[in-house]
Chains A and B, each alone.
Chain A
Amino acid sequence: IAGITQAPTSQILAAGRRMTLRCTQDMRHNAMYWYRQDLGLGLRLIHYSNTAGTTGKGEVPDGYSVSRANTDDFPLTLASAVPSQTSVYFCASSDQYNTGELFFGEGSRLTVL
């Protein structure tokens, strides 16, 4: 059972470069989410999608964009990375028609220099 797959696991990136974090789920869940987690802090919601073709802004959306072309994939793009975007990024999905619990990936550690 794969669940949520994130790639890359870790990445070092120069400031100003474009970066896409990939997220794929094989559970056919309707809703997907992107969170960032900074050292010593909790999870902060960046963007979410409740179904293919729709997205919404979370708590900290600035500097990030997402797309949801199909049910399984929910990529997160940093158009021009800045050092403050150094963080661990978690993707999640949830089955809105069952228990509603969130399933998380193992995270992508991004360092922007």
Chain B
Amino acid sequence: DAKTTQPTSMDCAEGRAANLPCNHSTISGNEYVYWYRQIHSQGPQYIIHGLKNNETNEMASLIITEDRKSSTLILPHATLRDTAVYYCIVRVPWGGFKTIFGAGTRLFVKA
């Protein structure tokens, strides 16, 4: 079973921030939170990851709660091209071989 739970779908207006939540209440101390997205039927694409500190890169920001039981991926200015399925997973980078994905959140960005 996936170790994360995400809403099935979300809508966002173009130009607004998209905030995608993820629950990972059973996360272990050495597990990182990773986010990926899949556009149409392409292979999933890495977005960002973090352990306990908030992270930001050119694509998104990742906010992890202090207890690490949940996180939020933020797309600051969503565009139509951000319409995709977003996956949140937890894994140990150096040994997380049985990497399990859930069903993800389908984000619809609307004009």
Is the pair B87, A45 in contact by a Cβ cutoff of 8 Å? no
> B1 to nearest A CB, angstroms?
8
**Residues of B contacting A101 in the complex (Cβ-Cβ under 8 angstroms):** 34, 46, 49
Q: Closest residue of chain A to B91, judged by CB?
A: A100
* Residue A99 interfacial (CB < 8 Å): yes
Q: When chains A and B are docked, how far (Å) is the Cα of A100 from the Cα of B96?
A: 8
B49–A100 touching, CB < 8 Å: yes
Interface residues of B toward A: which range?
20 to 34
CB <8 Å contact, A88 and B41: yes
Decide if A45 touches B94 in the complex (CB within 8 Å).
no
Residues of A within 8 A of B85 (CB): 42
Residues of A within 8 A of B32 (CB): 100
Give bound CA distance, A99 to B97, whole Å.
Answer: 14
Contact present for A102 and B44 (CB under 8 Å): yes
Question: Quick check: is A96 within 8 A (CB to CB) of the other chain?
Answer: yes
A interface residue count range (under 10 / 10 to 19 / 20 to 34 / 35 or more): 20 to 34
The answer to whether B93 touches A96 (Cβ under 8 A) is yes
Task: Please determine whether A58 and B42 come into contact, CB atoms closer than 8 angstroms.
Answer: no
Q: Is the CB of B94 within 8 A of A104?
A: no
| Bound Cα distance A107, B49 (Å) | 23
- CB-CB contacts below 8 Å: B23-72 with A: 32, 34, 36, 41-46, 49
A-side contacts of B34, CB under 8 Å? 100-102
Collect the chain B residues with CB atoms within 8 Å of residue A42's CB: 2, 85, 87, 101-104
Cβ contact within 8 Å between B99 and A48: yes
B residues near A, CB below 8 A? 2, 32, 34, 36, 41-46, 49, 85, 87, 91-104
Nearest 6 Cβ contacts at the A-B interface = A100-B93, A104-B43, A42-B103, A43-B101, A101-B46, A50-B97
